[in-house]
Amino acid sequence: MELQESLSRLKEKIEGGMPPEFVEIMHQSTRDLEASGIGEKTLKAGDKAPSFSLPNHKGEIVSSDELLKQGPLVITFYRGVWCPYCNTDLAFLKRYKAQFDEMGVSMVSISPQTIENNKKIIDQQRLNFDLLRDAENNIAAQFGLRWEMVDPLKSLYNDKFNIKLNEYNGDDSWTLPVPARFIIDTDGIIKYAEYSVDYTKRPNPDVLVSELQAV
């Protein structure tokens, strides 16, 4: 089964069990984010990728510059353990880790949530790659992906869904990254970039393999 098929089935199940007014708040938020022009700010192929040094789920600092000395780097931006769509995405991505290793490619995922929550999803899904903590989405902002959740979506998450981002992320910014994937070549230049303002729609990870073969 392809990733998008899994996400579409998940969306049907989740939204089918919600009051229509909740679904409309979520859909309107997605439309508003798209209309904000965030996609115009997102880094594209040909841009220089920001360097970063972030703690992984073990608290060890992982440096993009060091990884790029070994070969190309695949980066994904992950919203959090509370997001079933993102968790499905990670589950598909881990299937490609061995193939990336054979190609000399490193892969990391970046999330604003606390190290403890990153470790939780690593353990739950037995992920075979690092999940790095990006406090307050500072690196996501440099990639043009950070956005702030506001009412009525914020109240829906906080009061109805009991998804309290301030607790998951360990800060009060109520910011998230737009889900995205990048391939960074060894010269630090982005060779492939894609993002999903609609977090329920994402390309299958095998597109990364095709793009890496062309790097």
Q: State the 10-residue block means of pLDDT for the chain, 215 residues long.
A: 91 96 97 95 97 96 98 97 96 94 96 97 94 98 98 97 97 97 97 95 91 83
Distance (Å) of CA 186 to CA 39, 44, 108: 25, 16, 15
H/E element holding 109? strand 106-111
Pairing relation of β-strands 180-184 and 190-195?
Answer: antiparallel
Q: Which of 145, 139, 144 is nearest to 176 (CA)?
A: 145
Query: Residue 113: CA atoms inside 13 Å, Cβ hemisphere, count?
Result: 23
- Record the pTM: 0.95
**Angstrom distances, CA of residue 174 to CA of 10, 47, 146, 160:** 25, 28, 10, 16
- Cβ within 8 Å of residue 5, ≥6 positions away: none
- Helix/strand/coil percentages in the chain, nearest 5: 45, 20, 35
Per-residue model confidence (pLDDT) at position 100: 96
Please tell me the distance from the alpha carbon of residue 215 to that of residue 207, in angstroms, as a whole number. Answer: 13
Task: Please name the residue that has the structure tokens 């995205």.
Answer: 180
The dihedral formed by the CA atoms of 61, 65, 70 and 73, expressed in degrees to the nearest 10: 90
Look at residue 214 in the predicted model and tell me its pLDDT. 80
Say how far apart CA 120 and CA 78 lie, in whole Å.
14
Cα–Cα distance for residue pair 192/115, rounded to 1 Å? 28
Beta strand 73-77 with 180-184: parallel, antiparallel or unpaired? antiparallel
Contacts of 114 (CB under 8 A, 6+ apart): 133, 168, 169, 170
